[in-house]
Amino acid sequence: MPDPLRLGIAGLGTVGIGVVKIFQRHADMLSRRTGRTIEISAVSARSRNKNRDADLSAFAWESDPVALAKRADVDVFVELIGGSDGPARDSIEAAIAQGKDVVTANKALLALHGQSLAEMAESKGHVIRFEAAVAGGIPVVKALTEGLAGNDIGRVMGVMNGTCNFILTRMESAGLPYAEVFEEARQLGYLEADPNLDVGGIDAGHKLALLAAIAFGTKVAFDAVELEGIGRISIDDIHRARDMGFRIKLLGVAQMTGRGLEQRMSPCLVPAESPLGQLQGGTNMVVLEGDSVGQIVLRGAGAGEGPTASAVWSDIIDIARGTRLSTFGQPAATLATPVTAKASAPAPHYMRMELLDKPGALAKVATLLGEAGISIDRMRQYGHMNTTAPVLIVTHKTTRDAIDHAFSQLPRTGVVIGDPVAIRIEAV
């Protein structure tokens, strides 16, 4: 039997403790599956005295994760601290410098510094693995990097922030406005300390940028992700979209087009009956499309102690078995610099606006949209509420530019009240 594989675990929050628990529960199984003994040499966290749901007395303690990363009895540095800079980054850099392999669940750090860290590690023959950083327990990094590696990937899509999906599905099922469900999510502990990471789409955007790098063989380009959060989604739009056969999801889409790489994390309508449309609560779903394999859909828990720790162990087990893969599926130094598409590919859009109860109001809007080159697929006018009537429109394929232009002209019709809404409909 080869030498034991010795781990140092930095960060003892939910995920870190989950990783320890799997080790304590399944040491024999892990050894049977990897052909070697796995040990935890040392752990590290900010506070030693915090009450934690695991017995850590068998492991050495380091208060400084950088010191942990440098320990001679650590082969794999497992970074579960979080944060794009600070101790997480410092300790990973120290680990690489010391010749360790790294396993991390840190999407923010990799989305911002993944390229340089991977180059650094790979130049020394070490690996950085991050299955737990994307979609929790779903083995999507592995599916994309390895399972679908024979495919030219056309598009990657996903609902990858469980909190946003919880908020949107809860708004629909309970008929509650955004602000109220947001507060509920906060009280349930579903929100990050900075809630904008969740509801602003940033966290999910990090994940999308990482998948795009693997899918298209390009450097991680988080800055190029078009980000829009769910804060402006109204209960009205959720209900109206449903009437038209759609659900609203915070959907990430990355695709390589003739105009360059497109990456969006934004609210989209998807058919209510599609797998993405039916996704309820905190569950995640990722859709991978390859030229040979067609469409592969993966579904599972996107967060939580067990699922995320399961993903961390997947990476540790790979390393224990001797599997040594490039972080992004090919050497980081060979990743291309992506050309960012200037605008999203045309798509049908959902529009909602309030029209004055005046003869010819609808015709005026339809004419204006037509002049802007926007063709209408379906339109539905609701009964008048006081002096206005809500109108829903599903357009044929059009661009956001065309819509913005049309919306800027709407005031001159004199029949539109308030701000019109437009949301992209993604073909899934």
Of 139, 158, 201, 205, the one binding its own copies (CB under 8 A) is: 139
Of 88, 276, 316, 319, the one binding its own copies (CB under 8 A) is: 316
Binding mask 245-284 for its own copies (x = CB under 8 A): ------------------------------x--x------
Nearer to its own copies, 88 or 319 (CB): 319
**Of residues 63, 111, 50, the one with CA closest to residue 91:** 63
Stretch that binds its own copies, among 177-185, 186-194, 250-258, 328-336 (CB under 8 A): 328-336
Count of residues touching its own copies (by CB under 8 A) = 60
Of 119, 146, 184, 226, the one binding its own copies (CB under 8 A) is: 146
Classify residue 331 by its DSSP letter.
-
104 residue type, one letter:
T
Under rule CB under 8 A, residue 295 binds its own copies: yes
Under rule CB under 8 A, residue 310 binds its own copies: yes
- The token pair at 270 is 């998807």
* Residues in CB range of 415: below 8 A, 6 or more apart: 355, 356, 358, 360, 361, 364, 365
In the block, tokens 């870190």 appear at 16
Under rule CB under 8 A, residue 125 binds its own copies: no
Beta strand pairing call for 260-271 and 38-44? unpaired
Stretch that binds its own copies, among 5-13, 28-36, 259-267, 397-405 (CB under 8 A): 28-36
In the block, tokens 């797998």 appear at 275
φ, ψ (nearest 5 deg) of residue 315: -70, -40
Residue 21 annotated among the catalytic residues of the structure: no
Of 27, 120, 227, 317, the one binding its own copies (CB under 8 A) is: 317
Cα three-residue angle 84-88-91, rounded to 5 degrees: 140
Cβ neighbourhood burial of 92 (10 Å; 0-12, 13-18, 19+) = buried
Stretch that binds its own copies, among 59-67, 137-145, 346-354, 373-381 (CB under 8 A): 137-145
Of 27, 54, 297, 366, the one binding its own copies (CB under 8 A) is: 297
Under rule CB under 8 A, residue 26 binds its own copies: yes
**Of residues 362, 327, 283, the one with CA closest to residue 127:** 327
Q: Where are the alpha helices (DSSP H) in 60-106?
A: 65-70, 87-97
Which stretches of 112-163 are assigned E, i.e. beta strand? 128-129, 153-159
Nearer to its own copies, 332 or 392 (CB): 332
Nearer to its own copies, 275 or 348 (CB): 275
C-alpha to C-alpha distances, 174 to 178, 239, 240, 313, 314, nearest whole angstrom: 11, 11, 15, 37, 37
Element housing 170 (H / E): helix 162-174
Rounded to whole angstroms, the Cα distance separating 171 from 324 reads 44
In the region spanning residues 350 to 369, those forming contacts with its own copies, defined by CB under 8 A, are: none
Binding mask 147-176 for its own copies (x = CB under 8 A): xxxxxx------------------------
Of 66, 176, 296, 402, the one binding its own copies (CB under 8 A) is: 296
SS3 342: coil
Catalytic residue ranges: 207
Residues that bind its own copies (CB under 8 A): 18, 22, 25-26, 29-30, 32-35, 131, 137-139, 142-143, 146-152, 217, 275, 278, 290-301, 304, 306-307, 309-314, 316-318, 321-326, 329-331, 334
